[in-house]
Structure 1
Amino acid sequence: MIHRETLTGLVLAGGQGRRMEGRDKGLEPFAGRPLVCHALAPLNGRVAECLISANRHPEAYAAWADRVIADLETGYMGPLMGLYSGLRAATGDWVVVVPCDSPLLPDDLVARLIAGRGDADIAVAHDGRRLHPVVALMRRSLVDDLGCAFAAGERRVEGWFGRHAWQAVDMSARAEAFANLNTLDDKRRLEACRREALRS
């Protein structure tokens, strides 16, 4: 069993936001709160510490995290580098990672990843149609291998998973919770759908 005190939560918010007009996605408002606050919601109270991986505006993110960390290598090298930096910084034996731009993740996300892991080193959310590689639970001890993979040229999170025992966790009953906001239009559409759902 994986207990709360052995868990570190990690929110990936270190991207350039190129498809969102260069905005810092995690700080973009959604339903009255920054997106990063929504990303933290399924982690709060369920992990021993929360880290935010951010390469811009660390002073703003500091209000919501136990610690804010930047990529260990500069140049916006993608989510795999954010994951590597987070695993390096984590104090727990296990790390739960979520992206900053999925504001509807279920409250029981951590429990479901733990329950669905089996004996695997990595558990990854699957919405019934596709895998969500940055919604995952993994052993922190994999960090050295991740560093080696990155040094060898690996840049895809899924590519690195393939080096280890990993398990897809069926979350198809809550597929809508994995909506990802890549653009401002995505954000507006989801906000409109949420308002409509609250009215009905």
Structure 2
Amino acid sequence: MSTGLLVAVLAGGEGRRIGGGKPSRLLGGETLLARALRLARGWSDEVRTVVRDPGQAAGAPLLLDDAAIAGPLGGLAAALRFARSHGHEAVLTLPCDMPFAPPDLPGRLGTAIEARAAAIAASGGEIHPVCAMWRRDVLDRLDAYLATGRRSLRGFAETVGFIEVDWSVGSLDPFFNINSAQDLRRAEAMLLR
């Protein structure tokens, strides 16, 4: 377990495709948020749930998204500011809708980040910028990135410099994410395998 690492569970999306309230959706009798927090607490003593509205995750230690920045970049901005003010060297972002994230995520990303500003998980030929480790110093480059009008995590990672860390996809993509009721049913079926 790392004390220099802040794990930020991203749970601030509206979840429109699933009918709202994504963090509280049940998978295997446990909410998506509870599953993510359980995993995150195994990685660090410092875990925060990052939301746009406190009602999205009642009872969890919260950070509020930077309201001026749309999407997950607003969550990363809030987490980076918290990390800087509390002496954490890095932030690991984990979305609440990736219930099968691999247990070795922080170890592999942490090893890979070495001389880079960020390390991003990848699988099946795609990167997953919401599942990444970021050095807290990337915060110094955020305002310049925002001034370009861009708001994507991927674009920010390209700006600061990142390394891609690939996981194999067997019968299960460890970065499968839940966006719809159909995805939730697929995830339930995966639990039964």
* Equivalent residue number for residue 77 of structure 1: 70
- Alpha-carbon distance in structure 1 between the residues aligned to 2:89 and 2:139: 11
* Equivalent residue number for residue 159 of structure 1: 155
Uncovered stretches (5+) of structure 1, i.e. residues with no partner:
none
Q: Which one of the candidate residues 174, 178, 181 is aligned to 1:181?
A: 178
Residue 88, structure 1, aligned to residue 81, structure 2:
yes
Over residues 55-84 of structure 1, what are the superposed CA-to-partner deviations in whole Å (9 max), with x where a residue is unaligned?
23x3673534xx30112226x811111111
- Alpha-carbon distance in structure 2 between the residues aligned to 1:55 and 1:186: 23
Instruction: Give TM-score scaled by structure 1 length.
Output: 0.86
- Alpha-carbon distance in structure 1 between the residues aligned to 2:190 and 2:135: 36
Residue 147 and residue 28 in structure 1: after superposition, are their counterparts in 2 closer, same or farther (change >3 A)?
farther
Partner SS for 1:177: coil
Paired residues in the alignment total 189
* Equivalent residue number for residue 34 of structure 2: 37
Cα deviation, residue 173, structure 1 = 5.3
Cα deviation, residue 116, structure 1 = 2.3
Moved more, 168-177 or 102-111: 168-177
Q: Which one of the candidate residues 25, 48, 53 is aligned to 1:51?
A: 48
Cα deviation, residue 10, structure 1 = 0.2
Moved more, 6-15 or 105-114: 105-114
Which consecutive segments of 4 or more residues in structure 1 shift more than 6 A?
Answer: none
Instruction: Give TM-score scaled by structure 2 length.
Output: 0.89
* Equivalent residue number for residue 68 of structure 1: 62
Uncovered stretches (5+) of structure 2, i.e. residues with no partner:
none
RMSD: 2.0
Cα deviation, residue 107, structure 1 = 1.4
Residue 44 and residue 62 in structure 1: after superposition, are their counterparts in 2 closer, same or farther (change >3 A)?
same
Percent identity over paired residues: 33
Cα deviation, residue 48, structure 1 = 3.1
Contact kept in structure 1, 2:120 and 2:127, CA below 8 Å: yes
Contact kept in structure 2, 1:43 and 1:110, CA below 8 Å: no
Contact kept in structure 1, 2:32 and 2:97, CA below 8 Å: yes
